[in-house]
Chain A
């Protein structure tokens, strides 16, 4: 078996070291080694986006990244989204707009949405649908999700920027 390696990353602002085999995906490392089970495995081949995390600020499917590739990377997962005293405006908007049913797809949608709003603070419905094309939902339907993202953008734009 290939030798395990020590990988050093920053996950949700904290320096994190883990041991992994080359064949382990980032999704496996997050879920099985680090107990960060927020990212979900829907398809394991890059089609559903349930495993979306941010790597150096960009959304990636963590099932299509090797754990060893993240040496030195800055990672953000759903576990790091909520502030200590509540929810992120995106999470709040998903709740208020009933943009989830079973919730399997939600962590992935929220991570993609975070990245979308960081790039484009005032997206149109079309921008949102195009940007979220790599995230699939099998139960809620996309209208409520799109409405939640529009609402999240409004909420964020109304809030004073964090210091």
Chain B
């Protein structure tokens, strides 16, 4: 592998200092499941790799009345390993369970998945559906960006030189709410999503009406997409087949897929509709139980 220096700062401030000093030629290392191979194959050539796992904030996984704090370097297995978190943030646990195999899940973080900014990243639609906010540290202090505004293109995001992701903040789970993420892949596991859909719904006390909903789509655009129209369409509507079918149509209208080796545009559009319907139905089930 190409030569690089290794630093393992113990604080956010120290990490910002190192990242700023190298002005773009330093890269954060979380679980390394994307980065190490990208260095090996020459896609990235950092002079310094900054291991961020020794910074306490990056390993926080805390569920309180105020919501969930998810440190940017927390590996996937910790998320589905906590029954309270998998219940309250089910879509995120669904994602964490299917990123790679067990070895990958021991190391891969949701933060790394987001910062790698692939269009098919499996946890980003769930973060968007659950209303997550990215907390970013940099030379000018901290700022917050809603996850739906984080990715700007394939492999691109809003992080400026010297900045890095500290944690993700998720709002508390509301009563009568449920969420789900599901992807289509030709195999049962260990594959890249052809389409991925996440939904989070809030029902009224009777469980028969949508109060609000958020839906996000993966692998059907240059970035994961927030399907805002779908949520708007569901809000206030009765929970029935027609409502959900309309939502699925709206999701297809938002998807902008390309043809590639994993699927054609038409196929992806079709699957977007099917998955949107199933994901909303499952979210409703979870909200009712």
Q: Report chain B residues within 8 Å CB of A65.
A: 32, 36, 107
Docked Cα-Cα span, A129 to B36, in Å, equals 27
Docked Cα-Cα span, A46 to B104, in Å, equals 7
Q: Does B33 contact A (CB under 8 A)?
A: yes
Q: Report chain A residues within 8 Å CB of B103.
A: 46, 49, 52, 59-61, 64, 112, 134
Residue among A23, A47, A112, A115 with the highest chain B CB neighbour number at 10 A: A23
Q: Mark B147-168, 1 if CB is under 8 A from A, else 0.
A: 0000000000000000000000
Q: Report chain A residues within 8 Å CB of B267.
A: none
Stretch from B3-11, B14-22, B62-70, B216-224 contacting the other chain: B3-11
CB-based contact A2/B190 at 8 Å: no
Q: Report chain A residues within 8 Å CB of B53.
A: 69
Q: Does A84 contact B (CB under 8 A)?
A: no
Q: Report chain B residues within 8 Å CB of A68.
A: 6, 8, 51
Q: Does A66 contact B (CB under 8 A)?
A: yes
Q: Report chain B residues within 8 Å CB of A133.
A: 101-102, 188-190
Q: Does B210 contact A (CB under 8 A)?
A: no
CB-based contact A112/B4 at 8 Å: no
Q: Name the distance in Å between B77's Cβ and chain A's nearest Cβ.
A: 7
Docked Cα-Cα span, A67 to B5, in Å, equals 13
Q: Report chain B residues within 8 Å CB of A58.
A: 77, 106
CB-based contact A66/B106 at 8 Å: no
**Chain B binding site: helix, strand, loop or mixed by DSSP?**
loop
Total B residues in contact with A, Cβ cutoff 8 Å:
29
Residue among A21, A24, A61 with the highest chain B CB neighbour number at 10 A: A61
Q: Does B172 contact A (CB under 8 A)?
A: no
Docked Cα-Cα span, A45 to B3, in Å, equals 18
Q: Name the distance in Å between B212's Cβ and chain A's nearest Cβ.
A: 34
Docked Cα-Cα span, A49 to B102, in Å, equals 10
The residue that B101 contacts in the complex, of A5, A24, A55, A135, with Cβ under 8 A, is A135
Q: Does A141 contact B (CB under 8 A)?
A: no
Q: Report chain A residues within 8 Å CB of B8.
A: 68
Q: Report chain A residues within 8 Å CB of B33.
A: 46, 61, 64
CB-based contact A64/B101 at 8 Å: no
Q: Name the distance in Å between B105's Cβ and chain A's nearest Cβ.
A: 9
Q: Report chain B residues within 8 Å CB of A5.
A: 6
Question: A46-B104, A60-B106, A60-B107 known; A23 and B2 CB under 8 Å?
Answer: yes
Q: Mark A50-90, 1 if CB is under 8 A from B, else 0.
A: 00100100111101111011000000000000000000000
Q: Does B143 contact A (CB under 8 A)?
A: no
Docked Cα-Cα span, A22 to B26, in Å, equals 14
Docked Cα-Cα span, A55 to B105, in Å, equals 13
Docked Cα-Cα span, A3 to B5, in Å, equals 8
Q: Report chain B residues within 8 Å CB of A59.
A: 102-103, 106
Docked Cα-Cα span, A58 to B36, in Å, equals 19
Q: Report chain B residues within 8 Å CB of A49.
A: 101, 103
Q: Does A1 contact B (CB under 8 A)?
A: yes
Q: Mark B100-128, 1 if CB is under 8 A from A, else 0.
A: 11111011000000000000000000000
Q: Does A19 contact B (CB under 8 A)?
A: no
Q: Mark A1-19, 1 if CB is under 8 A from B, else 0.
A: 1110100000000000000
Q: B residues touching A (Cβ–Cβ < 8 Å)?
A: 1-6, 8, 29, 31-33, 36-37, 39-40, 49, 51, 53, 77, 100-104, 106-107, 188-190
A-B contact pairs, 5 of them (CB 8 A): A22-B5, A22-B6, A23-B3, A47-B190, A58-B77
